[in-house]
Amino acid sequence: MKRKKFVPSASYNIFLSRLRLARQEAGVSQRQIAKLLGMHHSRINRAEEAKRALDLLEVRQWCQALGLSVVDFTRELDAALNATDAGPSTGSPSSSGEEE
């Protein structure tokens, strides 16, 4: 039986970009974080390239390896996702206050 392919959402891609940025800002390479987490560097690459999904416990381990609080990371991710969800306004409200 063939495995179902993981297809990331736009929100998941934002999550990955934030996680990658956190790693880069910490000055840690994929190989270095792999060693810290006790896994092969290809697993890190596959995760960052959205070829493998990460669960919450893995994200917690990544944050710990980078010296970050998972709570702070999640809070910042939530703010980034909320900013994306808000997006630009697509119309102007009615000036009369009446619904159309």
The answer to whether residue 4 is domain-embedded is no
Q: Report the domain count for the chain.
A: 1
Place 88 in a pLDDT band, splitting at 50, 70 and 90.
low
Percentage of residues in the chain with pLDDT exceeding 90? 75
Residue 15 buriedness (CB in 10 A; 0-12 / 13-18 / 19+) = buried
The answer to whether residue 90 is domain-embedded is no
The boundaries of the domain holding residue 38 are 10-78
Q: What is the largest CA-CA distance in the chain?
A: 63
The answer to whether residue 97 is domain-embedded is no
Summarize pLDDT for 35-71 with one digit per residue, the tens.
999 999 999 999 999 999 999 999 999 999 999 999 9
The answer to whether residue 36 is domain-embedded is yes
The answer to whether residue 84 is domain-embedded is no
CATH number of the structural domain spanning residue 34: 1.10.260.40
The answer to whether residue 15 is domain-embedded is yes
34, 40 contact by CB (below 8 A)? yes
The DSSP annotation for 20-72 comes to HHHHHHTT--HHHHHHHHTS-HHHHHHHHTTSSPPPHHHHHHHHHHTT--HHH
Task: Output the pTM of the full model.
Answer: 0.76
